[in-house]
Structure 1
Amino acid sequence: MSTSDQPYPEHQSGLEVYEVKEELRRALRARRAKLTPRALEAAGLGLAKVVAGVPAVAEATCVAAYVSRPTEPPTTPLLDRLAARGTQIMLPVLGAGLRRDWAWYRGPGDLQVRAPGRPAEPAGPTLGADALTEVRAVIAPALAVDTDGGRLGQGGGWYDRVLRHAPADALVVAVVFDEEVYDAVVRPLPREPHDRLVDIVATPSGWRWLRTPAGA
């Protein structure tokens, strides 16, 4: 939840929303860059347990997830935990011009870095953007999430576009560190019309609904 030491642009008047987003992204990335390898390892282990226990993820036979970047909450422990219990996992594959695609996760030995600065991707054949119609849950990266379901991503808009291919009832689980959950009443994240809200936020210490579907 929001605290006084969370990065937050104090002077937003006169700025475009995208400028406020970029200011906040820079501050959050700088904060993440200070995390120690030990802290990152602990976060990855905590997230693996928490996210695997989210009912929408635990009950799904097929989920979409992602391979974390060096300063993100590590997802390798989560991928291994889900794969060990038989869950099929789709991972993003980025083509030319941020083309959206997916491929199956077949273990860490199958991952390769295809371009500098990009996370590792499966080496196997791609499935096409429409493959996302098979998933019941989408585990998505974020730099911050607020309690109204607002998500601040890395700035490319990739997930906002790709989630259009997900089933209407598939739940989106955003993953952040504990201190990156913002109170939408006092510190709402900047939002644009194209931004897709998320349903659940998961951190190393637990998860919570942000937008509860009927019957959940």
Structure 2
Amino acid sequence: MAVSRQPYPSEDFTEIEDFKSALRTAIREQRANRSERLRREAAQDFATVLLSIPEVKDAHTVALYASRNGEPSTLPILNYLQALDKQILLPVLGSGLQRGWAPYVGEDDLLERAPGRPPEPSTPHLSAEALQAADVIIAPALAVDSRGVRLGQGGGWYDRALLHARAGVQTIALVYPEEIYDAATMPLPHEDHDLPVHAVATTTHWATLPLSGL
């Protein structure tokens, strides 16, 4: 792990959300430094690693997400899973705190319905409870630490959505290798409502969480 490349604010924050915000900004800036070529190569590597995870290979229904600019691209893994005849659920964002899911039927169907929102399918929208059909969940993240703490984009959408997952279903965070933090030295900030993830996948490997001996 390239620890020297890991942003971690040195300032003492009185509010956890301020700490999260500073860390999000630093990680987003680091991600923005990747060239388009490196991002394309990483997208293929992410897909290769994800397809090596038994829970993903064996799943009938996968909850995934259509990546936004700046996030690790999920387009290759979406298309590979579709070619394997997996059922794929993507998030759809309603007004306010509304959340739901819709089936993925192909990249040509995806549409960014508002600036900054992830691309969404035009297929019929399902309720938040539709996540109960998922056999594995692949979630976006800016970073994950060795305890399984996930730093999300800041909207809290996934923490609310994951409450509807079936018991025992694995949630996998998708991050670059340097975005896995050692909780013993650089723990990610978290609050009571932040739900941990069970595994992490990068461009080079995947691992179950919590980790030890980083």
* Superposition TM-score tier, normalisation by shorter sequence: over 0.9
Aligned residue in 1 for 2:182: 183
User: Shift of the alpha carbon at 1:205?
Assistant: 0.6
1:45 partner SS: helix
- For the residues of structure 1 that align with 2:193 and 2:2, how far apart are their CA atoms? 24
2:34 matches 1:35: yes
- For the residues of structure 2 that align with 1:55 and 1:44, how far apart are their CA atoms? 19
2:171 partner SS: strand
1:98 partner SS: coil
User: Shift of the alpha carbon at 1:136?
Assistant: 1.1
Q: Is the 8 A contact 1:90 1:102 kept in 2?
A: yes
Query: Cα RMSD (Å) of the superposition?
Result: 1.2
Q: Is the 8 A contact 2:89 2:103 kept in 1?
A: yes
- For the residues of structure 2 that align with 1:184 and 1:49, how far apart are their CA atoms? 27
- For the residues of structure 2 that align with 1:185 and 1:111, how far apart are their CA atoms? 40
Aligned residue in 2 for 1:11: 11
2:122 matches 1:132: no
- For the residues of structure 2 that align with 1:92 and 1:142, how far apart are their CA atoms? 14
Aligned residue in 1 for 2:200: 201
The number of aligned residues is 211
TM-score normalised by length of structure 1: 0.95
- For the residues of structure 2 that align with 1:211 and 1:185, how far apart are their CA atoms? 12
- For the residues of structure 1 that align with 2:78 and 2:99, how far apart are their CA atoms? 20
2:4 partner SS: coil
- For the residues of structure 2 that align with 1:121 and 1:34, how far apart are their CA atoms? 26
1:10 partner SS: coil
1:69 partner SS: coil
Q: Which runs of 4+ in 1 moved over 6 A?
A: none
Q: Is the 8 A contact 1:136 1:169 kept in 2?
A: no
User: Shift of the alpha carbon at 1:168?
Assistant: 1.1
Structure 1 portions without partners, runs of 5+ = none
Q: Deviations over 1:30-49 (max 9, x none)?
A: 11111100110011000001
Structure 2 portions without partners, runs of 5+ = none
Aligned residue in 2 for 1:25: 24
Q: Deviations over 1:66-118 (max 9, x none)?
A: 00111111100000011101110000000111311100000111111111111
Q: Is the 8 A contact 2:49 2:202 kept in 1?
A: yes
TM-score normalised by length of structure 2: 0.96
User: Shift of the alpha carbon at 1:211?
Assistant: 4.0
1:96 partner SS: coil
Q: Is the 8 A contact 2:5 2:178 kept in 1?
A: no
Aligned positions of 1:106-185 closer than 5 A: 106-185=105-184
